[in-house]
């Protein structure tokens, strides 16, 4: 059974299953993978029946491609799929996105993700507030709702910004990478953001640049990528009251053996506390993070 391998991973030297369950949202439509819809749906189907299926989350799709997704589901004979829908045009398109999901009963909405378009001249509180109001008016029917903000924006206004999100029961989405070096927040910036989220008990997901388990420099671009295991450990440290310098150091750790050792030391209670904050990580390739976990001995087939 797919769940058996992950459950067994809680024993011995492997990672706690609570730490990894449903961690990886399938963002294979997005760069750098940028798969066609047909290939992405086929890959998602493969993940859903693989031995690592308990690690796999919903299929991430833009609202502007839901009709295309529906056509591929019909051609492939897929009866249903869990989706997290990105509302590309922001607050003004929330209602239309919800209508598109409801129109296709095969789409099981797990989350709605709405980016806040914030320029240097914008007021972040106002930008988030407009999205929150649009989500308030939407019939989410139990689906989660995320408001996307760059970690760099939160800064010293964290308490007020996060309150707008958390007071309504919504979640935050952090972009931790992209197509330029500037899209990757440095360790100190991300550490401050994670500490604020942990302190405010705000649930969140991260996306972009988190294809691998441990912090590294990409050989092809030279970009500095955060590791998804570093992220989980840093949230655990922040939640336990570590200083910003300590959280920053966890994010900066590049030695795979050291990171894996710390992950193995996480018990069930700590794993639950971490995942109570970190809902998921978006990745354009579920295979890559799973391969890293195998290589580190943190999961087994």
Decide if 245 is inside a domain.
yes
Classified as helix, coil or strand, 263 is helix
Decide if 242 is inside a domain.
yes
Query: What tens digit of pLDDT does each residue of 65-94 get?
Result: 999 999 999 999 999 999 999 999 999 999
Domain with 49, as residue range(s), is 2-295
Q: What CATH number does the domain containing 261 carry? A: 3.20.20.70
d(CA 279, CA 204): 6
| Nearest to 204, CA basis, from 133, 125, 151 | 151
Decide if 80 is inside a domain.
yes
| Nearest to 281, CA basis, from 243, 241, 217, 234 | 234
Decide if 175 is inside a domain.
yes
Q: Contact, 192 vs 244, CB < 8 A?
A: yes
Decide if 256 is inside a domain.
yes
d(CA 24, CA 297): 18
If residue 127 lies in a helix (H) or strand (E), which one and from where to where? helix 124-136
Decide if 300 is inside a domain.
no
Return all residues near 156 (Cβ < 8 A) that are at least 6 apart.
none
Q: Name the pTM for this structure.
A: 0.93
Domain count for the chain: 1
Decide if 205 is inside a domain.
yes
Decide if 301 is inside a domain.
no
Query: What tens digit of pLDDT does each residue of 33-51 get?
Result: 999 999 999 999 999 999 9
Model pLDDT, residue 121: 55
């Amino acid at each position: 059974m797919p769940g058996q391998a992950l459950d067994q991973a809680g024993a011995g030297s492997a990672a706690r299953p609570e730490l990894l369950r449903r961690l990886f949202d399938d963002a294979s439509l997005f760069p750098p993978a940028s798969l066609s819809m047909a290939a992405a749906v086929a890959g998602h189907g493969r993940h859903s029946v693989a031995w690592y299926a308990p690690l796999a989350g919903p299929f991430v799709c833009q609202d502007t491609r839901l009709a295309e997704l529906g056509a591929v589901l019909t051609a492939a004979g897929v009866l249903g799929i869990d989706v997290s829908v990105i509302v590309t045009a922001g607050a003004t398109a929330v209602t239309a996105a919800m209508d598109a999901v409801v129109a296709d009963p095969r789409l099981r909405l797990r989350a709605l993700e709405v980016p806040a378009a914030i320029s240097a001249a914008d007021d972040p509180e106002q930008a988030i507030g407009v999205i929150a109001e649009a989500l308030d008016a939407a019939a989410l029917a139990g689906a989660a709702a995320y408001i996307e903000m760059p970690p760099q924006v939160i800064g010293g206004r964290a308490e007020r910004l996060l309150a707008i999100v958390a007071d309504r029961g919504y979640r935050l989405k952090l972009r931790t990478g992209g197509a330029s070096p500037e899209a990757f927040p440095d360790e100190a910036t991300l550490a401050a953001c994670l500490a604020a989220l942990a302190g405010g008990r705000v649930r969140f997901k991260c996306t972009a640049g988190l294809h691998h388990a441990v912090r590294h420099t990409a050989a092809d671009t030279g970009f500095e990528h955060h590791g998804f295991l570093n992220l989980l450990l840093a949230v655990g440290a922040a939640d336990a009251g570590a200083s910003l310098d300590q959280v920053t150091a966890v994010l900066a750790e590049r030695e795979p053996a050291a990171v894996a050792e710390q992950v193995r030391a996480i018990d069930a209670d700590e794993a639950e506390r971490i995942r109570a904050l970190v809902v998921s990580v978006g990745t354009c390739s579920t295979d890559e993070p799973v391969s890293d976990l195998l290589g580190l001995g943190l999961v087994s087939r």
